[in-house]
Amino acid sequence: MKAERIIAKGLGNSRNVMTPHVIRYGLLSKYVAYELASGGRVNDTTRYGVTVVKYNPETNTAEELDFSSSFDTLNEAESYIAKYNRKKD
């Protein structure tokens, strides 16, 4: 399953109010996808968010995982993704 479909399955069509501008989707493993997004400014700084969703093929459902997070810089968000990208299922 593609990353964008896993995210859509878990989050529906709702947009994150804090980071509504999707930069990209990606897979951390076969059934775990992330969305990297940017958005609102806090203290004159753009915020970046990483949302992580896991798909369950047995039930055809998906849910957001607890380690979704927001960051002050794109580099911090990219580093966070890279950290989890090394942990394959």
Q: What is the pLDDT of residues 10-27, one digit of tens each?
A: 988 776 777 889 999 999
In the chain, the number of structural domains is: 1
What pLDDT was estimated at residue 25? 96
Note the pLDDT of residue 12. 85
Percent of all residues in the chain with a pLDDT value above 90, rounded to a whole number: 67
Mean pLDDT within 49-55: 95
pLDDT given for residue 89 in this prediction: 45
> Using CA atoms, how far apart are residues 17 and 27, in angstroms rounded to an integer?
23
Contact call for residues 77 and 71 (beta carbons, < 8 A): yes
Residue-range definition of the domain harbouring residue 15: 3-85
